[in-house]
Amino acid sequence: MIATPFTPMASLLGGALIGVSAVLLMWANGRIAGVSGIAARLFPPYEDGEFAGRLAFVAGLVAAPVLILLVTGRLPAQTIAAGPTVLIVAGLLTGFGSVWGSGCTSGHGVCGLSRLSARSLVA
C-alpha cells in the first residue's frame, strides 16, 4: 500500500467538475455521461450514429492530462502498483463488469443517484 495524502477540497472540486461535465452532456446531447457506456459503444454492434461524439468525448478525457502538463508544466502523482498480469485481469473484469451492470459503479453513483434510481443504488 502506497500512502496518499487526504485531499478533501481538491477531491470535492474535482467531483464538482465531473458533475458539471455530466450536466453539460445531458444539456448538449441528452445522454448520460457514463464512461463505460460511451467507451464500449466505440466498438460494434453500432446502434446509433453517435460514434463521432463518443470518440470526441474520449479524446477529451485523454487530452486532460496533456492540458494540465501544458498549463502547469507538470503532472500530478500517478502511482500504478499493479504488474502487467494484474492489469490485464483487472482490465478484463472492469470492462466486462461495467457493461454487464449497465454502467460503472461510479457512473451509477453520479448519474443514477442524482435521478434517485433504485437500480443505481443497488449497483
Partner 1 sequence: MAVLVQFAIGLIFGLGLIVSGMSNPAKVLNFLDLGGIPAGTWDASLAFVMAGAVAVTFIGFNRVLKRARPVFAERFYLPTRGDIDVRIIAGPAIFGIGWGLAGFCPGPALTALGFGSVSAVIFAAAMFVGMVLARFIAHLPSARVVASADSLET
Q: Give me the least distance between CB of 95 and partner 1, in Å please.
A: 3
- Lookup: cell for 14: 474535482
Nearest-angstrom CA–CA distance, 27 and 118: 23
Find the shortest distance in angstroms from Cβ 9 to partner 1: 8
- Shortest Å, Cβ 83 to partner 1: 9
Residue 54: all three cell numbers together: 463518443
Provide φ and ψ at 23, rounded to 5°: -65, -45
Least distance from partner 1 to the Cβ atom of residue 60, Å:
2
Under a CB-based contact definition with an 8 Å cutoff, are residues 116 and 24 in contact?
A: no
Distance CA 54, CA 62 (A): 13
28 vs 73 by CB, closer to partner 1: 28
Nearer to partner 1, 73 or 122 (CB): 122
CA dihedral 91, 77, 104, 22 (to 10 degrees): -140
